[in-house]
Amino acid sequence: MRCAIVPPHVLDHIAENHRDERLRESAQRTLVIDSGQRDARAAAQLIASAEPTTGPAVAKRTIHDAGHHDRLPGRTVRSEGAPATGDRSADEIYDWLGVTFDFYRSAYGRDSIDGAGLPLVASVHYAVDYDNAFWDGSQMVYGDGDRKVFTTFTGPLDVTGHELTHGVTQYSGGLDYTGQSGALNESLSDVFGSLVKQYHLGQTADQADWLIGQGMFAAGVHGVALRSMKAPGTAYDDPNLGKDPQPADMAHFVQTTRDNGGVHINSGIPNRAFYLAAAAIGGHAWEKAGRIWYETLTGGHLPKDADFATFARMTAECAGRLFGVKGAESDAVRQAWTTVGVEIA
């Protein structure tokens, strides 16, 4: 399954409503590419091929230039330890792959995306005016954007953190990419994408912006980011993008067949639950709230078809194991889910 940062409802709106014919065509081409599976690899095969490595955890990065073609990976332009290329996109992604690797290693003792030293591969300059970035099951891929609505996908660190976390979920047993389990899949990527950025900046929960994709919009676009974990539904309101449709609670859950049952829309509900828990606990969010979410994801017991209620119950149980059933952390997790309308049995 190809997991992309820009949801189809955003690209749909551009393709149908933008006054600029070139941008409508760019959005439509992106949608066609995103619906294809030819570049994807089977997750089961990748999981089966993962073997533990020996020695210290060290990043193994390789950056390719796709040369504005849709064939992957493209020409190798930088390998681990090599000097900067002078290509901003390639060098940004080399750095961001390293930051994400360091985050998982330092915060949770994880050796790369698969936990077994998986090399990190990325391709930049993918296709022509491609308005997205994605994890294809084996590597990261970045377009350059259309330069009128989207100007960068390599700049925001949380985009790379988000997409690589799809790999963490994949190698941790996966979550079905449909309905509530699919929304949890997207939410977990937003959670850890934001935590990668907070870790890199040394921010506490109250200092973080809790935005996903801040900085990718061109000047003149009425929006601050693709999503807001703190206030779902408020990230953008623009004639060419539409209005951010994310709900902040179960009372506004969106029933739709589009985007695998609204995986990018309804992820706003568990996103807000995590923000509320992290804000209530305080401090560096990756240390306690993030630990609870990480252990729930990687503990080996999360069903592939988990719904919000199942995940909420498991995070509450994990908080109890880690920090005490009557601890402030457990109370914060339970209250967060209750606030967004997900009851814990």
Q: Which residues are catalytic?
A: 163, 264
Distance CA 207, CA 201 (A): 10
CA 165 to chain centre: 6
Distance CA 227, CA 247 (A): 11
Whether the bond between 239 and the residue before it is cis, its omega within 30 degrees of 0, is: no
The residues, ordered by sequence, that sit 6+ positions from 71 with a Cβ below 8 Å of its Cβ are: none
Pairing of strands 120-124, 3-4: unpaired
> Based on the number of CB atoms within 10 Å of its own CB, is 322 exposed (0-12), middle (13-18) or buried (19 or more)?
middle
Nearest to 298 by CA among 177, 183, 172: 172
Ranges assigned E (strand) in the chain: 3-4, 61-65, 75-79, 120-124, 133-135, 140-142, 211-212, 227-228, 237-238, 242-243
Distance CA 206, CA 240 (A): 32
Structure tokens at 5: 């940062």
Give the Å distances, CA to CA, from 52 to 112, 117, 300.
Answer: 11, 7, 17
